[in-house]
């Protein structure tokens, strides 16, 4: 379950239980239930910030190993998936003869320079322009509908 889904469930449950809020009734306002006093005084929390990660030239070089001839990566950014252990979504901008400024998304289990992790293609662009297999065929069945795809793309700018 994603953090956003868990936060929604918690908010709905809190609203249904009236936890930490005084509510009027026939005899006047009620005091918060024991153990819930501090909930009413806490400020609302913001959604966690997205942590965009840099992708080194070494990692791009590994991605390049599965690229079509003439394909050149110009920039990339990564986002660590909150839904999978040790999975990074990498959005990369590239050019290839006849196509400028294209963006594809891949997944990898490492963005470290000292590892030789492979990649899997996530979106149609990545599948079309590289030889990396589709991530949808793995046990994780990662597809373009995964919210981390748009986050990684947003990290790229």
Tokens of residue 132, six digits: 């990396």
Per-residue pLDDT tens digits for 53-107: 999 999 999 999 999 889 999 999 999 999 888 899 999 999 999 988 999 999 9
End-to-end CA, the chain: 27
23 Cβ contact list (under 8 Å, min separation 6): 29, 30
Q: Indicate the average pLDDT of the chain.
A: 76
What are the φ and ψ backbone dihedral angles of 30, each rounded to 5 degrees? -95, 150
Q: Per-domain residue ranges for the chain?
A: 3-41, 52-156
Overall pTM > 0.75: no
């Amino acid at each position: 379950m994603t953090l956003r889904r868990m936060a929604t469930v918690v908010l709905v449950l809190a609203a249904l239980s009236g936890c930490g809020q005084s509510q009027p009734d026939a005899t006047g306002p009620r005091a918060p239930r024991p153990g819930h006093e501090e909930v009413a005084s806490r400020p609302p929390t913001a959604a966690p910030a997205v942590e965009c990660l840099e992708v080194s030239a070494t990692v791009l070089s590994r991605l390049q190993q599965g690229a079509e001839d003439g394909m050149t990566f110009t920039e990339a950014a990564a986002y660590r998936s909150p839904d999978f252990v040790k999975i990074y979504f990498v959005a990369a901008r590239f050019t290839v003869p006849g196509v400028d400024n294209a963006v594809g998304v891949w997944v990898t289990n490492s963005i470290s320079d000292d590892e030789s992790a492979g990649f899997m293609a996530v979106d149609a662009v990545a599948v079309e322009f590289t030889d990396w297999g589709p991530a949808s065929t793995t046990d994780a069945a990662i597809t373009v509908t995964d919210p981390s795809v748009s986050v990684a793309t947003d990290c790229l700018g």
